[in-house]
Amino acid sequence: MAYKKYAYYNKGNKIALIEKADSTSSGFLAVAHCTLGGYTTKDTCEAAGGQWIPGSGGSIETVGEYKSPASTVAKGLEIEYTYAPTYHNASNDRLQTNKFYINGWTVVGGYLCFLRSHETGVANWDASPYTAAGDDEYILVEGSERWNGIHKIKSTGSNGILETYTKVSGNFIKATGSSNITIASVSDNKALISAANGSNIWLNAQFSAGDYIYLGNGGSSTNNGFWEISSVAADAGTESDSGIYITNKYFCHTGENTLSTEGIDTTITTSGQSSTSAAIYKVERDFCTIKTDITAMEDETFELDLTRYQANAVILYMRAKLAEEMGNIELYEYYTAKFTKQLEKASGSRKYGPHIVQGHGMTRK
């Protein structure tokens, strides 16, 4: 019967799992070898009068080695007590009060920005109820495909863009036309966005069909928001004939009864605007939530969620490190042993089931 053996290691507040190379209930998978020592090939082994034992898999270098797991084991792992108190959420979550849905994100000037679009406009992060997300405040992102965790707000604005201090490598397209962008009215359930001739803004070369864009400063609130590009114009000799066509507007529902699903307007409406200074951002669609009223751990004033055993263990660990720095090895070993014992007590306090104490033979009930 085959069995598997796993181990783990920690890096910061992350845990990584590793798997021991294949083995069986009778030992490791056999490695090909000769019954006589010193022979590593079948021909030389048999020529010397030995017997060559074929291997059943693996090699001397890999049998018993810990490595990244190569197979999936359903319901084969349970991890407990991995909480790392790097932040504190003091408020109850309430939609449109301290919890808000987000359509996606982009990168502006190298910083991560979250985007919230409405059916007829965008969120104004400087007005109620969005003022809970203020400059230099922390937010907690949940449900994202990439950005779960805490982020610090760099700046807010009325254009639906929430800029953070999170640095992101890579270049995201942003086309800004100073009084050069024209947004047409809807025709055949799509609307053309193009640039003025001589502006050197070739939108069909910057974006592709299927891309998502975020439109800001589009002249009318109806035009602003999170859009999908349905097609792009063919290459042409003028910028005005080299535009992009938008369709399907994605938005977050507003109001107290905010829905947990993203809204999609497939029968779009735009307001024809010419010579606007619209900003067109390439974006990633990622429907998730952000929470405000987050306190992040920055210094020793942060209250750690530790048990009494764990708190005592921290003190013993610090004393051990101080003794090590002073060169007092005996004192270092003493506090290290006490620290280990304290961790055992902390671990033992989390055991499930009854703790049975075995009495002496003469102990009466």
Q: Are residues 142 and 284 in the same domain?
A: yes
- 160 and 21, same domain (yes or no): no
Total domain count, the chain: 3
What range defines the domain where residue 332 resides?
A: 308-348
Are residues 122 and 238 both part of a single domain?
yes
SS3 (DSSP) at 323: helix
Phi, psi of 121 (to 5 degrees): 150, -155
What pLDDT is recorded for position 25? 43
Indicate the pTM of the whole model: 0.66
Query: Tokens standing for 313?
Result: 């263990």
Q: What is the pLDDT along the chain (365 residues), one digit of tens a residue?
A: 456 677 776 655 566 677 776 654 444 444 567 777 778 788 888 888 887 776 655 454 555 667 666 666 666 666 555 555 677 787 788 888 899 999 999 999 999 999 999 998 999 999 999 999 999 999 999 999 999 999 999 999 999 999 999 999 888 899 988 899 999 999 999 999 999 999 999 999 999 999 999 999 888 899 999 999 999 999 999 999 999 999 999 999 876 556 678 999 999 999 999 999 999 999 999 999 999 989 887 766 666 667 788 889 899 999 999 999 999 999 999 999 999 998 888 776 665 555 555 555 555 54
Residue 72 lies inside a defined structural domain of this protein: no
Same domain, 119 and 252: yes
Residue type, 269: T
Same domain, 313 and 269: no
Distance between start and end Cα atoms, the chain: 46
Q: Is residue 365 in some structural domain? A: no
50 Cβ neighbours under 8 A, 6+ residues apart: 34, 35, 36, 39
Is 358 part of a structural domain of the chain?
Answer: no
For residues 26 and 104, state if they share a domain: no
Same domain, 103 and 218: yes
Same domain, 12 and 152: no
- Asked whether 252 and 265 are in contact (CB, 8 A), the reply is no
Query: Domain for residue 363, yes or no?
Result: no
In a domain, 353, yes or no: no
| pLDDT score, position 208 | 95
Q: Is the residue at 356 inside a domain?
A: no
- CA angle at residue 142 from 138 to 143, to 5 degrees? 155
Question: Distance (Å, rounded) from C-alpha 330 to C-alpha 185?
Answer: 81
**Separation CA 255–CA 57 (nearest Å):** 62
Residue 45 has a pLDDT of 83
- Phi and psi for 308 in degrees, rounded to 5? -60, -40
Looking up tokens 């449900």 gives 143
Is 21 part of any domain? yes
- Single out the residue in 37, 67, 97 at which a domain terminates: 67
Q: What is the DSSP letter of 146?
A: S
Q: Does one domain contain both 51 and 107?
A: no
Q: Which of 257, 273, 296 is the last residue of a domain?
A: 296
Q: Is 337 helix (H, G, I), strand (E, B) or coil?
A: helix
- Are 182 and 231 contained in the same domain? yes
Q: Is the same domain home to 172 and 201?
A: yes
Please indicate, yes or no, whether residues 144 and 115 belong to a single structural domain of this protein: yes
Strand partners, 15: 10
303 within domain boundaries:
no
Task: Decide which of 67, 99, 120 is a domain's last residue.
Answer: 67
